Amino acid sequence: MIIYPAIDIRGGKCVRLKQGKYDELTVFSDNPLGVALKFQDAGAKYLHIVDLDAARGESSNRELIIEIARSLRIPVQTGGGIRSLDDIEYVLTSGIQRVIIGTSAVRNPDMVSEAVKLFGPRIAVGIDAKDGKVAIEGWEKVIDWNAVDFAKKMKELGVKIIIYTDIATDGMLLGPNIKAMEEMVRETNMDVIASGGVSRLEDLTGLKKVGVSGAIVGKALYTGDIDISAIASFS
């Protein structure tokens, strides 16, 4: 299981949200590149970077994220505001290893299908769920589509990797939704990267037992609940 330290960027700063709420934001650093280098030096094997501004259709931190990726020795996956094949191609040819398609996967599945044909496993779909239902537009709109059913639809299009976020647990440090992650793995047989709620090493052990291929760790690394050095030792 790969551990993905998370860097969420808003206004060029490294921040964390609580349950995806933009009005409950904490700034942890004015230097996202410095944070990324710190994670790399601690032994991280892959980074997860989200453009929170672009996810809402506001401004974009894309060039900053590309700069970060080009400054690292380890691969980066990124999502937030990626809405066209041109976007995908630009990001993937600029130093990013994997693109995460979120809202656009709901609205334009044909684009996902074409992207997978062109870029294969470098395409992942981000499924953010609240009470089992898919949330889009920076988590601010919940639609009447079951998260597992949506994942199966993406699998039919050739997608192999899902980043599955349980919004209720995200940023709360109360533990991940193990049951939901287990269901997603069992029902889809896809590579599921779990996101939301990881607050201690035991949470990572629990996720590994249910078969997820990766786990994203965010707030716990910034608060010190999980020591950065534990990233390398665990994975």
The whole-model pTM stands at 0.93
Query: What is the average pLDDT across 92-121?
Result: 96
Q: Mean pLDDT over all residues of the chain?
A: 91
231 or 4: which leads in pLDDT: 4
State the pLDDT at residue 17: 84
Confidence at 77, pLDDT banded by 50, 70, 90: very high
Q: Is 163 helix (H, G, I), strand (E, B) or coil?
A: strand
Q: Is 140 helix (H, G, I), strand (E, B) or coil?
A: coil
State the pLDDT at residue 171: 61
Confidence at 234, pLDDT banded by 50, 70, 90: confident
Query: What is the average pLDDT across 209-233?
Result: 91
Confidence at 56, pLDDT banded by 50, 70, 90: confident
State the pLDDT at residue 142: 67
Domain ranges of the chain: 2-234
Confidence at 10, pLDDT banded by 50, 70, 90: very high
**Is 60 exceeded by the pLDDT of residue 138?**
no
Measured distance CA(58)–CA(130) in Å, rounded: 23
Q: Which of 128, 166, 170, 191 is catalytic?
A: 128
Question: What are the φ and ψ backbone dihedral angles of 110, each rounded to 5 degrees?
Answer: -60, -35
Q: Give the Cβ contact number of residue 149 at 10 Å.
A: 12
Measured distance CA(188)–CA(8) in Å, rounded: 27
Q: Is 132 helix (H, G, I), strand (E, B) or coil?
A: coil
Runs of H (alpha helix) within 157-234: 178-188, 201-209, 219-223, 230-234
State the pLDDT at residue 172: 57
State the pLDDT at residue 88: 97
In the CATH hierarchy, which top-level class contains the domain 2-234?
Answer: alpha beta
97 Cβ contact list (under 8 Å, min separation 6): 46, 69, 75, 76, 77, 122
Q: Are 46 and 76 in contact (CB under 8 A)?
A: yes
- To the nearest 10 degrees (0 to 180), the angle between helices 109-119 and 85-92 is 30
Confidence at 187, pLDDT banded by 50, 70, 90: very high
Burial of 18 (0-12, 13-18, 19+ CB in 10 A): middle
Please say if 128 is a catalytic residue.
Answer: yes
Please say if 227 is a catalytic residue.
Answer: no
Confidence at 235, pLDDT banded by 50, 70, 90: low
Measured distance CA(143)–CA(149) in Å, rounded: 13
